[in-house]
């Protein structure tokens, strides 16, 4: 009898864990979507204007990537400095499209210290581009932003053919 109760309790426990794991993902996904939507409402990702504040400063507001060959990925870094008197956390980074990925430190940045953002741009379409990257941090309600720009050129340009 006791063995049956243990099996029954184990079965109920597994069922509860499975249900709670499934349902906990839904609110988290909804939260991520709502955060991204809220960020997009506060920063116009299509505008060439950058947003700034007094707490977080980027070493440059526009990063020029120059020519990027179609189908390749260009990696660049950008320093962000906490100019406030309190530790600051980079909470979320949103890009204008999936071709741009950003890695950033999750630890607090001490006052007057810097952190490095690592940006990877994958050239998926020929032509000139500018992509806005918005950064939400703990010291302000509204995100700050910077731009990356450049020109995506064909996989092999005429200039390379002439050299051969």
- pLDDT surpasses 60 at 7: no
pLDDT value of position 111: 97
Quick check: 94 and 40 in contact, CB under 8 A?
A: yes
65-113 pLDDT tens trace? 999 999 999 999 999 999 999 999 999 999 988 999 999 999 999 999 9
pLDDT value of position 48: 62
pLDDT value of position 19: 32
The C-alpha atoms of residue 100 and residue 93 are separated, in whole angstroms, by 11
Distances (CA, A) of 125 to 99, 105, 122, 135, 148: 10, 29, 9, 25, 15
Mean pLDDT is highest, among 46-50, 111-115, 157-161, for 111-115
pLDDT value of position 47: 65
Q: What does pTM read for this prediction?
A: 0.68
**Count of alpha carbons within 13 Å of 8, Cβ hemisphere only?**
5
pLDDT value of position 14: 36
8-41 pLDDT tens trace? 444 433 333 333 333 333 444 554 454 455 455 5
């Amino acid at each position: 009898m006791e063995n049956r109760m243990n099996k029954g309790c184990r079965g109920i426990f597994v069922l509860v864990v499975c249900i709670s794991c499934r349902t906990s993902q839904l609110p988290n996904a909804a939260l991520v979507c709502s955060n991204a939507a809220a960020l997009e409402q506060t920063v116009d990702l299509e505008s060439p204007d950058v947003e700034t504040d007094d707490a977080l400063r980027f070493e440059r507001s526009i990063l020029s990537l120059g020519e990027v060959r179609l189908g390749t990925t260009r990696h660049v870094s950008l320093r962000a400095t906490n100019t406030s008197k309190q530790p600051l956390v980079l909470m979320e980074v949103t890009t204008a499209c999936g071709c741009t990925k950003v890695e950033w430190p999750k630890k607090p940045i001490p006052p007057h210290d810097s952190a490095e953002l690592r940006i990877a741009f994958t050239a998926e379409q020929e032509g000139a581009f500018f992509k806005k990257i918005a950064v939400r941090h703990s010291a302000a309600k509204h995100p700050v932003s910077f731009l990356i720009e450049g020109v995506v050129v064909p996989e092999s340009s005429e200039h390379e053919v002439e050299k051969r």
